[in-house]
């Protein structure tokens, strides 16, 4: 791509494929990173994401998808961190792991499907706290869009039907009943001092798998 490579965090949801497509449309080449809940959930979310990446590959002809097992990392956070902070801690950990994969792929930025205020992790406070974990620029192409606009674009690019298939992704795993919507960075950093961040990042990177896709073939390998 003429605008360089970006690492797109992709879930099985509606938003993140649209965010990736928007970056491709601007001339970026997308490398994909998916965090799945195995061994605590089935392979359903993973298969779904493979399908979504195969669909998106028609816009760039070949794609690389890094699949990171995140269930054990989440479990460790659950054991060591207060429940309301968990979601933000998960997201910060995802950002760190994705950033290391991005550097290996020579990407200049991370891309997420966040749009303002849709869920607890997307309040202005929490978006800021998550972004603090990144050193690379963190781009949010959907930030000012609402669900109707995002859904319309997902339908247009062909990812919507796959995105709405039921699955258990890691976002639904170990979720506290009342996540904090206004997290303070100093609180989070204090909690993180009790976590072995480097070891958790290393664990995610060591267990990550790579799948490669080409268009028009559905999948080359992985």
Residue 60 lies in a domain: yes
| Model pLDDT, residue 133 | 98
Residue 219 lies in a domain: no
What is the predicted pLDDT for the residue at 118? 65
**pLDDT value of position 10:** 98
pLDDT for the residue numbered 47:
93
Closest CA to 202 of 84, 91, 96: 96
User: Is 220 domain-assigned?
Assistant: no
pLDDT computed for residue 221 by the predictor: 54
Asked, for residue 221, whether it belongs to a domain, the answer is no
CATH of the domain at 194: 3.40.50.620
pLDDT for position 192: 97
How many domains does the chain fold into? 1
pTM for the model? 0.94
Q: If the chain, 222 residues long, is cut into consecutive pieces of 10 residues, what is the mean pLDDT of each piece?
A: 92 96 97 94 90 97 97 95 94 98 98 85 89 98 95 97 83 79 94 97 98 78 54
- Structural domain including 129 reads 5-214
């Amino acid at each position: 791509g003429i605008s360089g490579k970006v690492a797109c965090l992709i879930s099985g949801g509606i938003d993140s494929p649209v965010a990736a497509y928007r970056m491709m449309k601007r001339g970026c080449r997308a490398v994909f990173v998916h965090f799945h809940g195995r061994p605590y959930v089935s392979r359903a979310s993973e298969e779904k994401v493979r399908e979504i990446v195969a669909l998106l590959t028609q816009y760039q002809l070949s794609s690389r998808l890094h699949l990171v097992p995140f269930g054990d990392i989440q479990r460790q956070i659950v054991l060591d961190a207060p429940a309301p902070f968990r979601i933000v801690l998960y997201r910060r950990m995802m950002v760190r792991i994705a950033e290391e994969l991005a550097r290996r792929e020579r990407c200049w930025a991370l891309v997420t499907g966040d749009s303002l205020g849709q869920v607890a992790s997307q309040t202005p406070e929490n978006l800021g706290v998550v972004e603090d974990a990144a050193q690379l620029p963190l781009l949010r192409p959907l930030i000012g869009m609402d669900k109707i606009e995002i859904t319309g674009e997902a339908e247009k690019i062909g990812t919507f039907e796959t995105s709405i298939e039921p699955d258990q992704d890691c976002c639904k795993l170990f979720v506290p009943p009342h996540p904090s919507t206004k997290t303070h960075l100093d609180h989070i950093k204090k909690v993180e001092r009790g976590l072995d961040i480097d070891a958790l990042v290393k664990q995610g990177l060591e267990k990550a798998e790579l799948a490669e896709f080409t268009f028009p073939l559905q999948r080359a390998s992985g």
